[in-house]
Amino acid sequence: MYFNVKVMVLITLFITSNSLAIAKEGELTIGTIDDIQKLHIRSIPLGEHARRICHQEQSRTFAICSLKYNPTSGEDSEMHFVRLLDDQTFEFISTYSLDTYEYGCFIISCSFSDDNNVYYCVGTAYVLPEENEPTKVS
């Protein structure tokens, strides 16, 4: 049923405690598992690769780090994004384009002790074609 799965995570949503997110090439699938262990899924066509996902219960959103391949004049290029989705409708709320060669490496939801707000924190690295390992992180 699910071949070529790149990432799979168990998440807790405010509507249910048994949810699952599966990232495949060009598609994000989010589902729930009911009491009799039946999987209910919904595929969200992204048209790009979801690399990281995080849920934020307080804002009722998902944030994803994704990449999109762009074949231009015979040369392949990649564009990397951080996208915010509504956790009920899965519609895109916001998109942030990362710099050239900047990859989203991790994403978390967090808050700070002196602040009642919640935030998404994204860790990125610049992966330059001439380098074996990233030397610049942000």
Q: What is the pLDDT of residue 78?
A: 86
User: Residues 85, 93: contact at Cβ < 8 Å?
Assistant: yes
Lowest-pLDDT range of 2-11, 98-107, 128-137:
2-11
User: Residues 126, 102: contact at Cβ < 8 Å?
Assistant: yes
Paired strand residues for 30: 21, 42
Burial class (CB in 10 A: 0-12, 13-18, 19+), 63: buried
Domain ranges of the chain: 5-137
Residue range 83-103, pLDDT digits in tens: 999 988 889 999 999 998 899
Residue range 43-83, pLDDT digits in tens: 788 888 889 999 999 999 999 999 998 777 667 788 999 99
> Is pLDDT above 70 for 121?
yes
Show Cβ contacts of residue 53 under 8 Å, excluding neighbours closer than 6 positions: 7, 9, 11, 21, 23, 28, 62, 63, 64, 65, 107
How far are the Cα atoms of 11, 13, 93, 94, 109 from residue 62, in angstroms, in the given order?
Answer: 11, 10, 10, 11, 10
Q: What is the pLDDT of residue 18?
A: 63
Residue range 77-86, pLDDT digits in tens: 889 999 999 9
